């Protein structure tokens, strides 16, 4: 499987962060989280799953554990299993983040 121009798969909704699956296998999931300005993915954890965020477009505030950083295109953040994490798009541009989870979620 090959995926070209991943950013072109981004979809947005005015109500909340939108998700778009890029690839899913037995041991790994990759998807896009797409944020309009002001949208966020609230603080949460995944038990038994590691997550890598890779910012593709825009910039956003990413929290992992007790640390918060502003990340831009090309930056990444890693949240190990059980570590709280969140993303907020303060705007003014859209934010597209690839989320890679291992193992994959049972429901996406």
For the chain, give percent helix, strand, coil, nearest 5.
5, 50, 45
Report the CATH architecture of 21-100. Sandwich (2.60)
pLDDT at 107: 66
What is the model's pLDDT at position 96? 98
Q: What residues does each domain of the chain span?
A: 21-100
Which residue in this structure is represented by tokens 């007790």? 66
- The low-confidence residues of the chain, meaning pLDDT below 70, are 107-108
pLDDT at residue 67, rounded to an integer:
98
């Amino acid at each position: 499987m090959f995926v070209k121009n991943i950013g072109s798969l981004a979809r947005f909704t005015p109500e909340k962060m939108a998700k778009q699956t890029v690839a899913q296998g037995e041991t790994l999931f990759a998807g896009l989280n797409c944020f309009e300005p002001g949208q966020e993915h609230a603080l949460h954890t995944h038990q038994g799953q590691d997550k890598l965020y890779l910012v593709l477009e825009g910039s956003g505030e990413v929290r992992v554990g007790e640390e918060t950083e502003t990340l831009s295109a090309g930056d990444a953040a890693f949240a190990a299993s059980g570590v709280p994490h969140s993303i907020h798009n303060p705007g003014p541009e859209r934010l597209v983040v690839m989320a890679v989870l291992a193992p994959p979620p049972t429901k996406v």
